[in-house]
Amino acid sequence: MIQRKVILIVLDGVGDRANRELDNKTPLQYAHTPNLDSIAKRSLVGLMDPIAPGIRAGSDTSHLNLLGYDPYKVYTGRGPFEAAGLDMELRPGDIAFRCNFSTVNEKLEVIDRRAGRIKKGTQELVKALDGMEIEDVKIFVKEGVEHRAALVLRGPGLSPYVSDVDPHAKGVRIHDAKALKPEAEKTARILNEFVHRSYEILKEHPVNKERESQGLLPANILLPRGAGMAPHMEDFEKKHGMKGACVVGTPLIRGICRMAGMDTIDFPGATGSYNTDMRGKFEHAVKALDTHDFVLVNIKAPDIAGHDMLPHKKVEVIERIDDAVGHLMEILPENVVVVITADHSTPCTMGDHSGDPVPILIYSDDARREGTEFNEIACAKGSLRIRGEDLMNVILNVTNRAEKFGA
């Protein structure tokens, strides 16, 4: 019996609801998708609740669940996965945050949460903060794209249960981090101390002096949010017996894959945005199959269209995906299973993630041929009616890799 390899394609937020602008169809129903529909006819199809019926999943909690990690156990906040996505080293127990370089005045009121979308210089700013020690806690900082950064606290007695310093609004004073549970007092104290020191250091930094001389907003403070504790996550290959890789543009999902011990395949065209190179992603995924058994491809664009509440834009994105999937099927090696699904629905009528189930398609040589079209309505007539937590078991089955329980 041949053990197959697998490409898992997550069309981020592609699930949707009926939309008046689309003749009361969903974007997947409305879009012209000859390639996806052709694959569906040779596939298992169905619906998947990313977590459970009605539960609104984040991209992070859903991807964890799809990869076989219980988000209720490993997820306390987004910070650690963002930090891992920036290639920071994390140890179980570390507390991590997403941060923005921001601009504040001397009263610590926010002028711009994104420091004028600063493009250059954050690497030098980070150097002035990284490695700081407060009490017995060591602090690490790393810059991301534009104004983005991540922060890691390492030391005894830390807790993820602290509120955001970032007030998520301008014109108001930054917030003091507050302990949301008694055991988080120390973490809140150290975090507040760090933020104040970051202001003292950054406001005098040559990069900011230079920006001010050019009439640009200074990146004079670092505002943390999304605290979370780095979990222990069993190695993906050990857990599932498949060497895993991912082709994803967004740091958050990339960080989840890194924390699972998967290899990350980066290339300039994978932007995590509307303009991402979809064909390129699939070409890199197929290449990765030479050295890996399992490749996750995440395409973020449909989620962005959902958040932007642009149904016609989402239809256009889906039709570009259909073209790229057609290309994938042309270059697909033998004995590779293709799974196409989503991490959650992002209805254009809502502008955010919903708890609606997502369509799923599983193509393999000997799949029961039960599909008709790839959309929420047609897939509901198929055999799959699973939860995210079942997905890896279903994949191990169709790739002929599952162990038998009993005789």
Q: Applying CB under 8 A, does 145 fall inside the site for a copy of itself?
A: no
Alpha carbon of 55 to those of 14, 35, 202, 287, 388: distances in Å?
Answer: 16, 30, 41, 35, 11
List, in order, residues 6 or more apart from 290 with CB less than 8 Å away. Answer: none
In the bound complex, what is the minimum distance in angstroms from residue 385's beta carbon to a copy of itself? 5
The nearer residue to a copy of itself, 259 or 324, going by C-beta atoms, is 259
- Judged by CB under 8 A, how many residues of this single chain contact a copy of itself? 65
Could you say whether residue 19 binds a copy of itself (CB under 8 A)?
yes
Residue 50: CB minimum distance to a copy of itself, A: 10
Closest contact distance (angstroms) between CB of 398 and a copy of itself is 8
Residue with Cβ nearer a copy of itself (35 or 62): 62
Given a contact cutoff of 8 angstroms between Cβ atoms, the answer to whether 98 and 225 are in contact is yes
DSSP strands (E only) in 300-354: 336-341
Distance of CA 41 to CAs 364, 369, 371, 374, Å? 11, 6, 4, 9
Question: How far apart (Å, rounded) are the C-alpha atoms in residues 89 and 137?
Answer: 16
Q: Which stretch binds a copy of itself (CB under 8 A): 207-215, 292-300, 333-341, 347-355?
A: 347-355
- Is the CB of 34 or the CB of 53 nearer to a copy of itself? 53
Q: What residues pair up with 14 in beta bridges, in sequence order?
A: 345
Per-position x/- string for 234-253, each x denoting binding to a copy of itself as judged by CB under 8 A, each - no binding: ------------------x-
Tell me the residue type at 228: G
Check residue 298 for interaction with a copy of itself (CB under 8 A).
no
352 binds a copy of itself (CB under 8 A): yes
Please state, as a whole number, how many other Cβ atoms lie within 10 Å of the Cβ of residue 7: 23
Residue with Cβ nearer a copy of itself (28 or 321): 28
Tell me whether residue 219 or residue 260 sits nearer to a copy of itself (CB atom). 260
Contact by Cβ (8 Å): 77, 227: yes
* Enclosing H/E stretch for 169: none
406 binds a copy of itself (CB under 8 A): yes
- Range 50-69, binding a copy of itself (CB under 8 A): 51-62
From candidates 226, 255, 306, 388, binder to a copy of itself by CB under 8 A: 226
Q: What are 138's two structure tokens? A: 């060591």
Whichever of 116 and 382 has its CB closer to a copy of itself, that residue is 382
CB 376 to a copy of itself: min, Å: 5
What is the closest distance, in whole angstroms, from the C-beta atom of residue 123 to a copy of itself in the complex?
25
CB neighbours of 369 closer than 8 A, spacing ≥ 6? 41, 42, 43
385 belongs to the binding site for a copy of itself (CB under 8 A): yes
Q: Are 224 and 99 in contact (CB under 8 A)?
A: yes
Q: What are phi and psi of 371, to 5 degrees?
A: -85, 170
| Smallest gap from residue 254 Cβ to a copy of itself (A) | 14
Nearest by Cα to 13 from 387, 394, 348, 367: 348
| CA 92 to each of CA 81, 155, 237, 243, 244: distance values in angstroms, whole numbers, following the listed order | 12, 11, 19, 22, 21
By the criterion CB under 8 A, which residues form the site for a copy of itself?
1, 17-19, 24-26, 42, 47, 51-62, 71, 75, 78, 226, 252, 347, 349-357, 365-370, 376-377, 380-386, 390, 392-397, 400, 402-407
